[in-house]
Amino acid sequence: MQLGIYKHHKGHLAEVIGVATHTETEEELVVYKHNGKMWVRPLAMFQEYVVVDGVEVPRFTFVSI
């Protein structure tokens, strides 16, 4: 996973700082910052596509390092 700034499909920016592994399930989780907080989201969900106004778009799109 490329570290850096990603744009959420709703418009806000998030800084991906790493990928962690869940201790129990070994699921990969994206660790990112948004609005001064740290968040985690399953890697599969971070990379999936969502439908917006009838069009399939990436949930997050890489912007820059």
Taking residues 37-51, what's their average pLDDT?
97
Mean pLDDT across the chain, nearest whole number?
97
- Global pTM value: 0.90
DSSP calls for 1-65: ---EEEEETTS-EEEEEEEEE-TTT--EEEEEEETTEEEEEEHHHHH-EEEETTEEEESEEEEE-
- Which pLDDT band, with edges at 50, 70 and 90, does 46 fall under? very high
Check residue 63 and give its pLDDT.
97
Domain ranges for the chain? 4-64
Question: What is the CATH class of 4-64?
Answer: mainly beta
Check residue 24 and give its pLDDT.
97
